[in-house]
Amino acid sequence: MKNPSLADPEFLDRVALDEELTRVFEKCHDCRRCLPLCPSFPSLFDAIDGHDLEASRLTPVETREVVDLCYQCKLCYNHCPYHPPHEWALDFPKLMTRAKLVQAKEDGLPWADRIGAQQDRMGKVSCRTAPLTNAAFKNRAVRLLMEKTTGIDRRWPMPEYQSRPFSQQLDRRDAGAVHAERVILFTTCFVEYSEAETAWAAVQVLEHNGIGVEGGYNACCGAPFLHGGDLENARRNAQKVVAHLAPRVRQGLKIVVPGPTCSLQLKQEYPELLGSDDALLVAENTMDLGEYVFGVAVAKKLDREFPKRIGKVAYHLPCHLKAQNIGFRSKQILGLAADEVVMVEACSGVDGTWGMKARHYDESLKICEGLIDAIEAAEPDRVATDCPLSALRIEERTGHKAVHPVVLLRDAYGLGPGGEESL
Ligand code: SF4
Ligand code: SF4
Ligand code: SF4
């Protein structure tokens, strides 16, 4: 069967998978359109060339290499003219995820991948011990040990953990004004544990425009589990998040997400992962934060008076926003407040945990070269990206602090840091 869904028993069947891999690999080899997109395609085409152009003769090691080099940026899906509803129904990213899941079913998951995907466990412990953890992450011996146990490269710029997760910070503040319109902020694990500035900026900007914000984070969206091949935990996390959010969506609230990998996960993966009405309800009512703010502007409810200058902005469009086919919403919003916005459409090579891993780190640095060069060439006053992991990479490589676009909007309104930072 072509491109079966996760619910189909064929999805995790090795024989069916191998047939589908051969079918898709043959089509891709004939087409070659995705050659420049990522290292996965060159590796595939070289392997097929080495077997007299017969995709069916790829060895398991060669296939595994193609799968391992896919970092789920999803760019090849939209790039491919043969994706569904075309009769060939090619979905290369989904096929790579499927192959990872089958591999994990057969061989088990590597210890490092299992540990590396435990975002909540790591986030909660790191917040509780923030001063110690943050200092430890700067220690070379600790980073070497971490590389051995979790697979995270010693060079990866670990984020600074806050001493209190954002949801707890939000619970402690005065309720303030009551707003007729409200949204749920699904902060994402990254923002929840180490980037509260983005969440507070979202609260400030939305409240400034008459929209109340409720906390909505109860668990990581599960993307690292899915990308790593851990179907059971990916489903478990999706179930937790959906159970938490669906009843509030039924009360009329939208879910707003300040992270494109996570918004993509809720929108696109949950319905297939869970196959439930509630998952569909959550998916249909989830919006990326930039997408939501743009909607507020379109409805003529966004204050367009920006008393502070933010100058020239280099804006990085993350792959997982592109994959959502929602247009360039953050760029358009920034355009209301900035002197100039230079949009950079290039991959940061991080994509979840793929680019942090020691086994991919050098490849990941090569992938991000275009992004880094374009940001430097723009000579910006400020740098923005919706993706918090890309922000770490941009800062590491350019020295520019990259922030979520909503932080620049906050600054343009002259609102200053919010939440615990303002105390
Ligand atoms: S995914 Fe589609 S566009 Fe890309 S190489 Fe394969 S067939 Fe061509
Ligand atoms: S999803 Fe991205 S990394 Fe994976 S094969 Fe497609 S273009 Fe390459
Ligand atoms: S995709 Fe988002 S919520 Fe999920 S692990 Fe990554 S940052 Fe966290």
**pLDDT tens, 6-41?**
888 899 999 999 999 999 999 999 999 999 999 999
Residue 159 CB–ligand 2 contact under 6 Å: no
Residues 122 and 91 in one domain: no
Q: What is the average pLDDT across 305-332?
A: 96
Domain count, the chain: 4
Does the structure show a pLDDT above 60 at 168? yes
Among 272, 296, 320, give the residue marking a domain's end.
296
Residue 75 CB–ligand 2 contact under 6 Å: yes
Residues 317 and 390 in one domain: yes
- Domain extent, residue 85, equals 9-107
Does the structure show a pLDDT above 60 at 71? yes
More confident site: 232 or 2: 232
Ligand that comes closest to the CA of residue 72: 2
Q: Is residue 311 part of a domain?
A: yes
Does the structure show a pLDDT above 80 at 117? no
Ligand that comes closest to the CA of residue 81: 1
Residues 366 and 408 in one domain: yes
Does the structure show a pLDDT above 80 at 177? no
CATH code of the domain in which 400 resides: 3.40.50
Question: What pLDDT score was predicted for residue 1?
Answer: 73
Phi, psi dihedral angles at 10 (to 5 degrees): -65, -20
Q: Is residue 3 part of a domain?
A: no
Residues 291 and 191 in one domain: yes
Counting residues of the chain whose pLDDT is more than 90, the rounded percentage is 87
CA 346 to mean position of chain CA atoms? 14
Q: Is residue 405 part of a domain?
A: yes
Residues 289 and 255 in one domain: yes
Q: In whole angstroms, what is the distance from residue 84 CA to residue 87 CA? A: 7
Residues 292 and 310 in one domain: no
Does the structure show a pLDDT above 50 at 304? yes
Residue identifier of the C-alpha nearest atom 3 of ligand 1? 80
Does the structure show a pLDDT above 90 at 316? yes
Q: What is the average pLDDT across 258-262?
A: 96
Does the structure show a pLDDT above 60 at 138? yes
Q: In whole angstroms, what is the distance from residue 23 CA to residue 418 CA? A: 53
Residue 262 CB–ligand 3 contact under 6 Å: yes
Residues 95 and 178 in one domain: no
Q: Name the residue of 73, 79, 320, 345 to mutate for ligand 2: max ligand atoms within 8 A of Cβ.
A: 73
Q: Is residue 360 part of a domain?
A: yes
Residue 122 CB–ligand 3 contact under 6 Å: no
Residue 264 CB–ligand 3 contact under 6 Å: no
Phi, psi dihedral angles at 87 (to 5 degrees): -65, -25
Q: What is the average pLDDT across 193-218?
A: 96
Residues 215 and 184 in one domain: yes
Point out the ligand 2 atom lying closest to the alpha carbon of residue 34.
7
Residue with tokens 């009360």: 251
Q: Is residue 100 part of a domain?
A: yes
Residues 141 and 177 in one domain: no
Q: In whole angstroms, what is the distance from residue 385 CA to residue 387 CA? A: 5
Q: In whole angstroms, what is the distance from residue 121 CA to residue 220 CA? A: 10
Question: What pLDDT score was predicted for residue 174?
Answer: 75
Q: In whole angstroms, what is the distance from residue 375 CA to residue 312 CA? A: 11
Residues 274 and 310 in one domain: no
Residues 339 and 395 in one domain: yes
Question: What pLDDT score was predicted for residue 419?
Answer: 64
Q: Is residue 2 part of a domain?
A: no
Residue 242 near residue 274 (C-beta atoms within 8 A): yes
> Mapping DSSP to helix (H, G, I), strand (E, B) and coil, where does residue 306 land?
coil
Among 296, 319, 343, give the residue marking a domain's end.
296
Question: What pLDDT score was predicted for residue 420?
Answer: 62
Counting residues of the chain whose pLDDT is more than 70, the rounded percentage is 98
Q: Is residue 281 part of a domain?
A: yes
Confidence bin at 113 (pLDDT 50/70/90) = confident
- Hey, what are 388's tokens? 């918090």
Q: Is residue 1 part of a domain?
A: no
Residues 185 and 287 in one domain: yes
Question: What pLDDT score was predicted for residue 423?
Answer: 42
Residue 261 CB–ligand 3 contact under 6 Å: yes
Ligand 3: distance of its center to the CA of 262 in Å?
5
